[in-house]
């Protein structure tokens, strides 16, 4: 029992360390550059895609689990992984594989956003 608890604690620690490091890098970029949040998100997504394509991101996912897949770079990993697996079946599946891999997450985001929009009243932010 104690060994299982220790393994769970180490799993959380690895996820926190990797996910926190990714967020730390993003925060440093925000603090020391004039890049907008949108551009930073796109760059991190593309970084996840490129790191997956060259084989660097998969070992990070194997090590940290959700710590590497939950940040936006994990979305790039998901898209690249879907395209790579789809390419094994042919060109058409290489193009649609990334869409199929990301469809559940994107659908959930749209549905839950719609539900929240129905529940809460949107208003402009006052400075």
pLDDT at 3: 87
How far, in whole angstroms, is CA 17 from its chain's centroid?
15
Classify residue 36: in a domain, yes or no.
yes
92 sits in which H/E element: helix 91-119
Tell me the CA end-to-end span of the chain in Å, nearest whole number.
52
Number of domains in the chain: 1
Classify residue 114: in a domain, yes or no.
yes
pLDDT at 34: 93
Classify residue 61: in a domain, yes or no.
yes
Classify residue 124: in a domain, yes or no.
no
- For the whole model, what pTM was predicted? 0.79
pLDDT at 21: 95
Classify residue 125: in a domain, yes or no.
no
Classify residue 94: in a domain, yes or no.
yes
User: What range defines the domain where residue 76 resides?
Assistant: 2-119
pLDDT band at 127 (very low <50, low <70, confident <90, very high): low
Classify residue 72: in a domain, yes or no.
yes
Q: pLDDT digit string (tens) for 38-75?
A: 999 999 999 999 999 999 999 999 999 999 998 999 99
Given phi > 0 = left and psi -120 to 50 = alpha, else beta, which region is 90? left
Q: pLDDT digit string (tens) for 82-114?
A: 999 999 998 889 889 988 888 888 899 999 999
pLDDT at 1: 76
Give the chain's length. 127
């Amino acid at each position: 029992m104690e060994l299982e608890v220790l393994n769970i604690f180490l799993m959380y620690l690895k996820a926190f360390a990797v996910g926190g490091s990714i967020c730390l890098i993003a925060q440093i970029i925000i603090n020391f550059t004039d890049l907008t949040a949108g551009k930073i998100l796109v760059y991190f997504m593309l970084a996840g895609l490129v790191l997956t394509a060259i084989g660097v991101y998969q070992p990070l996912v194997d090590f940290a689990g959700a710590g590497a897949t939950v940040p936006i770079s994990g979305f790039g990993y998901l898209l690249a992984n879907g395209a790579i697996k789809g390419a094994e079946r042919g060109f058409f599946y290489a193009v649609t594989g990334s869409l199929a891999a990301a469809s559940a997450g994107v659908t959930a985001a749209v549905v839950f956003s719609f539900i929240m929009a129905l529940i809460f009243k949107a208003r402009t932010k006052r400075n």
